[in-house]
Amino acid sequence: MRRTIFYLLIILLALYCAGPLLWQFITSLKLDTELTKLPPILPKAPTMDNYIAIFKENPFLRIILNSAIVAASTTTLSLILGSLCAFGLAKLRIGYKGLILGFILSVSMFPPIATVSPLYLIIRALGLRDTLFALIITYTTFSLPLAIWVLTNFFREIPDEIYLAARVDGCTPLQVFYKIMLPLAAPGIFATAILVFIFSWNEFLFALTFTSTVASRTIPVGIALFPGLHEVPWGDIAAASVVVTIPLIILIFVFQKRIIEGLTAGSIRG
């Protein structure tokens, strides 16, 4: 009896979490005429029309490509800068370490809306409006605190003796960093990479403000401003939502352990 109730609750929970996405998937398979009829819940004749439409009539592919470039560059850049900084904080003697960590933590609490107006003016003045570069630099900065925080915790778990032994053997700190520390902290780097990638794939406020054409439009802005001639094209939006969510769903199903590790290292141990 107890077991039955437990599994019932588990099924309910699974439905609650996955249900809305499932409904979006079902919607994406319906023709426009079927969308305005309920019941039936399932489409009589599932169709791929919506999927074909978003790639044919919209610059959707370009938007996905933009997002991929921005997310990949942001991830690479913040991993390089973040791991260097985290290694320094975890293993080297640096003055004002507490102050630096406090500064980094307080930056992570900045509300994006507080910096969006000056950043917009700066980017406009530099002629960087509507470029992917503007987004990459902004995202890298805003994901740095998370990257540094998570990675510092991972580097701290590597014993100091390993660092000292390598130094005695004649490695420079930089050599210790990339020859020994980076491979040892690989799980942490990987966890950080996933978190930063998801953050930059999903960010909306800066993307909405800094971009004006499809040249640099990213997925969230593309979906929010989905073009509709007369009414909201729910079928197309559903198809687009499913397409851009699939990479993330694959990520969480394959790497859920790493993601959970990263999230908890980023907040609890800190």
Partner 1 sequence: MRDGERGRWFVMPSLILLSIVTIYPLIYVLYLSLQRRLLIFDVSRFIGIDNYLFLFRDDRFLNAFKNTLYFTVLSVTLELLLGLSIAILLNRSFRMKGLMRAIVLIPWAIPTVVSAKMWEWIYNTDFGILNYLLGVKINWLGSPFWAINAAVFMDVWKTTPFVVILLTAGLQVIPKDLYQAARVDGAGRWDIFTRIVLPLLKPVILVVLIFRTLDAFRVFDAIYVLTGGGPANTTETLSIYAYKVLFQTLQFGYGSTLAVVVFLCTGGISIFYIRLLSKGVRL
29 CB-near residues (< 8 Å, 6+ apart): 43, 46, 47, 48, 50
Within a 10 A sphere around the Cβ of 67, how many other Cβ atoms? Answer: 25
The smaller minimum CB distance to partner 1, of residues 55 and 226, is found at: 226
Tokens describing residue 62: 């370009």
The smaller minimum CB distance to partner 1, of residues 60 and 177, is found at: 177
Give the separation between CA 67 and CA 70, rounded to whole angstroms. 5
The smaller minimum CB distance to partner 1, of residues 14 and 48, is found at: 14
Alpha-carbon distances of 251 from 41, 199, 203, rounded to whole Å: 29, 13, 17
Q: Is 85 in the site for partner 1 (CB under 8 A)?
A: yes
23 CB-near residues (< 8 Å, 6+ apart): none
* Residues between 13 and 42 that touch partner 1 (CB under 8 A): 13-14, 16-18, 20-21, 23-24, 27, 35-39, 41
Can you point out the beta strands (E) in 69-228?
none
* Residues between 177 and 216 that touch partner 1 (CB under 8 A): 177, 198, 201-202, 204-205, 209
The smaller minimum CB distance to partner 1, of residues 138 and 192, is found at: 138
Q: Is 175 in the site for partner 1 (CB under 8 A)?
A: no
Task: Give least dist CB 30 to partner 1, A.
Answer: 10
Token match 């800190």: residue? Answer: 270
* Residues between 102 and 141 that touch partner 1 (CB under 8 A): 103-104, 106-107, 109-122, 137-138, 140-141
Of 56, 54, 27, the closest CA to residue 43 belongs to 27
* Residues between 44 and 63 that touch partner 1 (CB under 8 A): none
Three-state secondary structure readout of 209-261 = HHCCCCCCCCHHHHHHCCCCCCCCCHHHHHHHHHHHHHHHHHHHHHHHHHHHH
- Segment near partner 1 (CB under 8 A), from 10-18, 46-54, 55-63, 184-192? 10-18
Q: Is 98 in the site for partner 1 (CB under 8 A)?
A: no
The smaller minimum CB distance to partner 1, of residues 59 and 101, is found at: 101
- Segment near partner 1 (CB under 8 A), from 45-53, 56-64, 185-193, 223-231? 223-231
The smaller minimum CB distance to partner 1, of residues 45 and 99, is found at: 99
Q: Is 84 in the site for partner 1 (CB under 8 A)?
A: yes
